[in-house]
Amino acid sequence: MKVCKVLLRESVRQTDKAYTYKVPEELEDKVVSGSYVKVPFGFGNRKETALVISVSDSADDIGFDPKKLKQIDSLLDLYPVMNKDQLALIEPLKSRFLCTSGDVISMMVPSAVGTIAKAKATFVDITSRQQAEELLSSGKLRSSAHINMLEYLLSEGITERKKLLSIVNASDAQLRGLRDKGVIEFSTRMLTREEVDDVKETPVNESDESFRVVHELNDEQTVAFTAVKESIGKPQVFLLHGITGSGKTEVYLKCAGEVLDRGGCVIYLVPEISLTPQTVSWIRGRFGDLAAVMHSRLTDRQKYDEWDRIRRGQARIVVGPRSSIFAPVEDLKLIIIDEEHDTSYKSESFPKYNTRDIAILRMRLSSCPLILGSATPLVTSKFAADKGIYKLLKLNKRAARDAVLPEVTIVDMKEQVKEGYGDLLSGPLRVAMSQAFAKDQQVMLFLNRRGYSRTLVCSSCGEPAYCPNCSVAMTLHNSKRIAGRLLICHYCGYTIPCEEAVCRECEGTKFKRAGVGTQQLEEILKELYPDRKVLRMDQDTTMMPGAHESILTKFRNHEADILVGTQMIAKGHDFANVTVVGVLGADLISMSSDYKSSERGFELITQAAGRAGRGTDPGKVYLQSLRPDNPLLMYAAKQDYDAFYESEIHYREVMKLPPFKAVGEIVLSLPDEDMLVARAGDLQKYLKDFLSYQDSSLGFEFYGPVPAPIYELRGRFRYVFMIKSSKKSYLNEVYKQVMEDFDPNLYPLSFDNDAGGS
Ligand code: ADP
Ligand code: ZN
């Protein structure tokens, strides 16, 4: 008799253990480690999806009557859904991210497995065209998801539910909400073969720029390639630090090609935002069917198909966003993380994993090299490279012939205002723009709106209100419970009423919200350059799916001369014809309550500057600032990463921040503010007490509670506790103890052992 141990996909803490089942005779040669099965579970024998983790030939060692053993119900997929490397990851991931086995299974196995074969689907249609049109024009619809769905259905007709949701980016609840208004109805039927294959992958476009030319590596690239090649078969992290345009991609591709030639597999991670149709098509062009490309535009069916090709070894290079680190590749010989500093590598929902941590686990399990590549590595990565933990590979020159780094100028906006140019477009930037237009070249303008709207800046000098203890900008806090507004330091909890803020630069006492007006900018542009077409890309103009792409394509095709946008446009896009870049409100970029904001600010300015002069014409970059002597701007202007790093690592050391200490966050969220304050008090007392008993060698420090930077979210209020310690694993131990001692129903908590992004 064969028996097997399984883990439940929907496990909760109490059921998060291995259960033993009998394997029915007819499945004996099919059920193996990694099989996906249905099992009867609990008193009601409800059917649960489960993963087989081991199979044995006898029931001797299970310790109870084998006749009482329940038996597997059915096999959900003919092939195993996890290979042995993935199975080996379950335990380390659980302890690292304090999640259940089921959470790990959900991250590794696409949700479509086991259901895809049925190919039955729900369709959505409009009940009455007239009624729908009336509702749309009445202005009564408040939700943009509702409006988008109705508009789509009116123009496209009956649509599969999932397709509709993915196209307009709406939730099931929103769809049901629309049905409750009586304007749409659902129906269910089997899909035809054509419909299953519908929404095909963007066809490979074989024309010019979608294919990358294969280059002979230059000397620097060759050194990097050789180092990686020689460590194939050994676990080793490489930090490939190369300025923008230095040809890092070429190095990745050469290394990947080498591994593929040797019959191995590659995981190649890129930020989601870089997975444009162009990227997808040149990857396909270069690697053909050997590549599986995972991106957000794929339907569930397509995701499943790509995943299936990977697990069967048909696709041997996986290119995708952070979730592709879980890909079921068999003979992993190389992992690449491009733009390793990118915040998208940190998961923002539970489990809040950091992709690099998982990459390092996989690197050890498979004994293979891992390349972290960036023009602006994370301070923690550079620190590890300096310590010899990572091997540093440097590319100091731009790779394309004649391409040089742009000329960066910091413009003092206080002077510009005095000279009558206003605080949006400086004189030097205007001159450069006119010159570019005369040569029919393009211009990009960056505005920054993220994060800083919750901080205050000094009205006279532009300096933000800083915490005197922590040197981070304080967060504006507005609570119904407290009359008046407060400034709070997210790190140490230091709190003052807004009226008491004093500027540390000029001792000014008047503060205002910082910001750059998009609308005023557009008006000025129209006035100054009436013949030039402007495109705008920000949260508002990219609501509709595909909008982001279409704006970039228009700009690439030179249908506009100026692209105005937030940091979204800074990343990875290569526009050969852009020669002038303006960063408006450059100070604001680094101004946030998060200790990683300088790192991000430096990265963004470097990225923005890297957009200029990608072709043969040298670029010009203008950083407009109210505080031109801000060291961060000076380092960025000189593209001097090392100087930036020196000052930043010093700050981190003094403030005991990563890499010197691990920073963890426990967030308590409740719908009632009074209840929140009371329970946060209980937790504070407990944590203070608990941590005071710990050995001082563990390095615990404890702060809080303070209101979260986004205090009110979806009807809940949130308080944050910050714990520092010398190791991430100590933070995990604290949280495990908290979870044992506090009822999650009364104290809804979430935890992050790597707080503040990636
Ligand atoms: P990075 O990823 O470091 O920003 P890319 O890999 O995108 O840089 O390379 C920048 C440009 O240089 C690309 O247009 C690329 O085709 C070109 N390039 C890369 N390597 C070489 C080389 N060895 N010789 C000439 N051009 C190169
Ligand atoms: Zn502080």
- Interval 170-216: pLDDT, tens: 888 889 888 988 889 888 776 654 565 554 444 444 444 446 678 89
User: Does 332 or 141 have the greater pLDDT score?
Assistant: 332
Pocket-testing residue among 223, 249, 401, 603, ligand 1, by greatest number of atoms within 8 A of Cβ: 249
Q: Does any ligand 1 atom lie closer than 6 A to the CB of residue 400?
A: yes
Distance 472 CA to ligand 2 centre (A): 7
Helices 597-610 and 641-655, interaxial angle, to 10°? 170
d(CA 523, CA 75): 63
d(CA 51, CA 76): 10
Query: Could you say which ligand is closest to the alpha carbon of residue 655?
Result: 2
Per mean pLDDT, which range of 349-363, 588-602, 634-648 is the poorest? 588-602
User: Which residues, 6+ apart, have CB-to-CB distance to 45 below 8 Å?
Assistant: 70
**Average pLDDT estimate for 289-294:** 93
Q: Is the pLDDT of residue 325 over 60?
A: yes
Q: What is the pLDDT of residue 358?
A: 95
Q: Does any ligand 1 atom lie closer than 6 A to the CB of residue 247?
A: yes
Q: Does any ligand 1 atom lie closer than 6 A to the CB of residue 215?
A: yes
Residue 197's nearest CA partner among 125, 140, 116 is 116
Residue 600's nearest CA partner among 754, 756, 755 is 756
Q: What is the pLDDT of residue 481?
A: 65
Q: What is the CA radius of gyration of the chain?
A: 28
Query: Could you say which ligand is closest to the alpha carbon of residue 224?
Result: 1
Q: What is the pLDDT of residue 452?
A: 46
Tokens 């504006």 appear where?
476
**Average pLDDT estimate for 561-570:** 78
Cis peptide bond upstream of 545, omega within 30: no
Is the distance from CB of 399 to CB of 250 less than 8 angstroms? yes
Q: What is the pLDDT of residue 206?
A: 47
The distance of Cα 693 from the centroid of its chain, to the nearest Å, equals 37
User: Which residues, 6+ apart, have CB-to-CB distance to 561 below 8 Å?
Assistant: 437, 442, 443, 529, 532, 533, 534
Q: Does any ligand 1 atom lie closer than 6 A to the CB of residue 49?
A: no
- Interval 396-427: pLDDT, tens: 988 876 667 788 999 998 888 889 888 789 99
Report residue 61's pLDDT band, with 50, 70 and 90 as the boundaries.
Answer: low
Report residue 67's pLDDT band, with 50, 70 and 90 as the boundaries.
Answer: confident
Q: Does any ligand 1 atom lie closer than 6 A to the CB of residue 399?
A: yes
3-state secondary structure at position 315: coil
Residue 625, number of CB atoms within 10 A of its CB: 25
Q: What is the pLDDT of residue 379?
A: 96
Q: Does any ligand 1 atom lie closer than 6 A to the CB of residue 606?
A: no
Tokens 């302890």 appear where?
95
d(CA 659, CA 547): 39
- Interval 435-486: pLDDT, tens: 999 999 999 998 865 444 567 888 887 778 888 887 778 888 776 666 668 8
Query: Could you say which ligand is closest to the alpha carbon of residue 254?
Result: 1
Q: Does any ligand 1 atom lie closer than 6 A to the CB of residue 392?
A: no
Using alpha carbons only, what angle is made at residue 729 by residues 725 and 735, rounded to the nearest 5 degrees? 80
Distance 241 CA to ligand 1 centre (A): 14
Q: Does any ligand 1 atom lie closer than 6 A to the CB of residue 577?
A: no
Q: Does any ligand 1 atom lie closer than 6 A to the CB of residue 218?
A: yes
Query: Could you say which ligand is closest to the alpha carbon of residue 396?
Result: 1
- Interval 633-692: pLDDT, tens: 889 888 899 999 999 999 999 989 999 999 999 999 999 999 999 999 999 999 999 999
Q: Is the pLDDT of residue 353 over 50?
A: yes
Give the phi and the psi of residue 373 in degrees, each rounded to 5: -115, 140
Query: Could you say which ligand is closest to the alpha carbon of residue 209?
Result: 1
Q: Is the pLDDT of residue 544 over 60?
A: yes
- Interval 215-244: pLDDT, tens: 899 999 999 999 999 999 999 999 999 988
Global pTM exceeds 0.85:
no
Please return the burial class of 712, using the count of CB atoms within 10 Å of its CB with bins 0-12, 13-18 and 19+. Answer: middle
| CA-248 nearest atom, ligand 1 | 3
Mean pLDDT of the chain: 86
Residue 525's nearest CA partner among 657, 623, 425, 421 is 425
Q: What is the pLDDT of residue 517?
A: 66
Ion ligand 2: residues, CB < 5 A: 467, 469-470, 489, 491-492, 494
| CA-243 nearest atom, ligand 1 | 3
Is the distance from CB of 295 to CB of 106 less than 8 angstroms? no
How much of the chain exceeds pLDDT 70, in percent? 88
d(CA 185, CA 125): 6
Distance 592 CA to ligand 2 centre (A): 12
Distance 270 CA to ligand 1 centre (A): 16
Give the phi and the psi of residue 643 in degrees, each rounded to 5: -65, -40
DSSP states along 675-703: HHHHHHHHHHHHHHHHHHTS-GGG--EEE
Q: Is the pLDDT of residue 345 over 50?
A: yes
Q: Does any ligand 1 atom lie closer than 6 A to the CB of residue 220?
A: no
- Interval 596-625: pLDDT, tens: 888 888 888 888 777 776 566 778 999 998
How much of the chain exceeds pLDDT 90, in percent? 47
Is the distance from CB of 110 to CB of 300 less than 8 angstroms? yes
Which residue's alpha carbon is nearest to atom 14 within ligand 1? 400
Q: Is the pLDDT of residue 288 over 70?
A: yes
Across 382-386, 519-523, 568-572, which has the greatest mean pLDDT? 382-386
d(CA 366, CA 86): 10
Distance 274 CA to ligand 1 centre (A): 16
Pocket-testing residue among 250, 269, 286, 577, ligand 1, by greatest number of atoms within 8 A of Cβ: 250
